Structure 1
Amino acid sequence: MPSIQIKDVPPETHAVLRERAARSRQSLQEYLLAKLIEEASAPTLDEVLDRIDMMSGGSISFVEAVEAVHAGRAGR
């Protein structure tokens, strides 16, 4: 399995993470691994927008659709 090493973690950050791991009754490694898995499991906004942009079927771009919505709201 691949591994990750993070260097130069500020001491305050390390202390907070160790405390959170202890409160969760996990080792620091277990705690951070769970956080990394959680982070990687949800797509970022950019990833979602890229997926939408790749979809076909619409006759206008996403940007044009957003501009049309804003224009419609401004006309209220």
Structure 2
Amino acid sequence: MTSVQIKEVPGQTHRVLRARAAAAHQSLQEYLRAKLIDDANQPTLDEVLDRAGGRDGGLIPLQEAVATLRSDRARR
């Protein structure tokens, strides 16, 4: 595994993170490692949109899709 080092963290930020790690019964390293892994596993909006844009499927104009949705909702 690789390592990451973060320098010049504000004191208040460090204190808050240490307190949160302690409340989770983790070391600061364990706590931050879990946070980084969780963050990396969640795709960004741009990543989701890029993935969606590359999919094959029906292509209809936006206005037609909106009209269809409104029509379906009106029938409910």
Give TM-score, length-normalised by structure 1.
0.76
Is 2:20 the partner of 1:20?
A: yes
The equivalent residue for 1:34 is 34
Could you say which structure has the larger radius of gyration? Answer: 2
Q: CA RMSD in A?
A: 1.9
State the 4+ residue runs in structure 1 displaced beyond 4 angstroms: none
Deviation at 1:40, TM superposition (A): 1.0
1:25 and 1:38 map into 2 onto residues whose CA distance is 18
Q: How many residues align?
A: 67
Q: TM-score, normalised by structure 2?
A: 0.76
- Runs of 5+ unmatched residues, structure 2: 71-76
Unpaired segments ≥5 residues, structure 1:
none
Give the deviation of 1:38 after TM superposition.
Answer: 0.8
Percent identical residues:
61
